[in-house]
Amino acid sequence: MIRLHHVPFSRSFRVLWLLEELGLDFDVVPYAIRDGSLRGAFQGLSPAGRVPALEIDGLTVFESGAIVELLSERYPEAGLGRDVGDPQRPRFLEFLHFAETMASVVEQLNLNHIFLRDPAQASPVVIKVNTARLAGTLAALERLLEQGPWLLGDRFSSVDTMMGFNLFAAPYYVSLDAYPRLQAYVARLETREGYQRARLRDGVQDFYTKDFYPVPEIG
């Protein structure tokens, strides 16, 4: 039995996507960010009250990076991970964690643009700095994609689900127009059947209400 605790269009989509790429049978338990459902009993599954949490074979695991690494190792026949001793293992781990570096900046922008109870408390300076930081991670990834169609070269891997999700969230704050490799990479991701199946099961996100959130003027 596999059960994913999930918020639509959140980091738990990384795991939802990977489960579909692996062709596994699983249930999705949906939550929402604003309705309090991530507090209380849910914290017994994820102590910080954050998705994802994955129940699998009697275990409960939280943190998307840990879950992605665990699933990659548990199903080696799929070829989506890189085992110890594989020459690509160091780069696999780098991308696994670089995905969280980028996601942490997106999270800060989400907080300032969307989730503050009083929007007047948002800091234009903080937003400007974090937008620049996000653009910096996108520029770095643009350069790293010189090596092939996927993050690890010619073969799709589970780190593409980790980093790929970021590239569906980042354009709310930074246009991808200046990053042609990233645009082509996103287009490739969207053609994958695993991604398409995951989108059908994802649910409707209810926090982004605009297509783009610009940096406010600093007065």
pLDDT of residue 218: 77
Three-state secondary-structure class, residue 28: strand
Domains and CATH numbers, the chain: 2-78 (3.40.30.10), 89-192 (1.20.1050.10)
- The H or E element spanning position 6 is strand 2-6
What residues in the chain have per-residue pLDDT under 50? none
Q: Edge-to-edge strand order for the sheet containing 2-6?
A: 27-30, 2-6, 53-56, 59-62
Total-model pTM: 0.96
pLDDT of residue 118: 79
The two three-digit tokens of residue 76, written as one number: 């080696």
pLDDT of residue 98: 98
Using the 8-state DSSP alphabet, how is residue 216 labeled?
A: P
pLDDT digits (tens, 9 = 90+) for 28-75: 999 998 888 999 999 999 999 999 999 999 999 999 999 999 999 999
